[in-house]
Chain A
Amino acid sequence: DPKIIQKPKYLVAVTGSEKILICEQYLGHNAMYWYRQSAKKPLEFMFSYSYQKLMDNQTASSRFQPQSSKKNHLDLQITALKPDDSATYFCASSQDGWGSSQNTLYFGAGTRLSVL
């Protein structure tokens, strides 16, 4: 059974709309992350949370807002969607948000977002 669940697996949206990407992890980890992967580009860090607190944010646009309702949940709300937002969004977790455990990330299967 997958230990990090991302929903939905595929998502098609219209330009200007708003979507929420869901992520739940059942590894008992204390840190969670969002990464984005576009075609031919490296995995790009977006956010990191530790014990439900934002640790780092390297997303320039405020259209991307993480939401953590529980320690094992980290959803990603995206507003005013643009075609350039089309990518696969990966949720990940690590035991802790500091030290060497940060280097060992466990990834969910991803949500493939297409904005038309």
Chain B
Amino acid sequence: GQGVEQPDNLMSVEGTFARVNCTYSTSGFNGLSWYQQREGHAPVFLSYVVLDGLKDSGHFSTFLSRSNGYSYLLLTELQIKDSASYLCAVREPNYNVLYFGSGTKLTVEP
């Protein structure tokens, strides 16, 4: 929605890492959020970034480059239970709206 793009699928191996990419092309920018959504469940907030650079939150880290319209969510020391969809959402100025990407389904294999 509103120019927020994510790859559909991503596979990785337990104990390693996964990087979930998000690109956006909105008319303005007022923050980007990441959510986790398990099959049949509601999205759960993970992280919010508004400044460029890497934000380390332990198991989840997020990177933002506003000039490139790009963010990624980095999951380290993957566990099987990290298998879920990861949604990127961008807020535009002047609107009380979060525009979500269609999500990346991460599958963590043993």
Contact = CB atoms under 8 A, between A and B. Distances in A.
B33 A104 contact: yes
B4 interface: yes
Contacts, number: 67
Contacts of A90: 42-43
Interface stretch (B52-60, B64-72, B100-108): B100-108
A44 B99 CA distance: 7
A103 B31 contact: yes
Interface stretch (B9-17, B73-81, B90-98): B90-98
Interface of A: 31, 35, 40-45, 48, 50, 55-56, 58, 90, 97-98, 100, 102-110
Contact of B48 (A31, A40, A42, A103): A103
A104 B18 CA distance: 23
22 contacts: A40-B102, A42-B4, A42-B99, A42-B100, A43-B43, A43-B100, A44-B1, A45-B97, A45-B98, A58-B97, A97-B96, A100-B31, A100-B48, A103-B31, A103-B32, A103-B50, A104-B33, A104-B48, A105-B35, A106-B45, A109-B41, A109-B42
Contact of B44 (A55, A98, A102, A107): A107
A50 B96 CA distance: 10
B33 to A, nearest CB: 4
A97 B42 CA distance: 20
Interface residues of B, number: 25
A109 B84 CA distance: 16
Given A102-B91, A103-B33, A104-B45, A42 B102 contact: yes
Contacts of A110: 42
Contacts of A55: 96
Contacts of B101: 42
Interface string B2-31: 001000000000000000000000000001
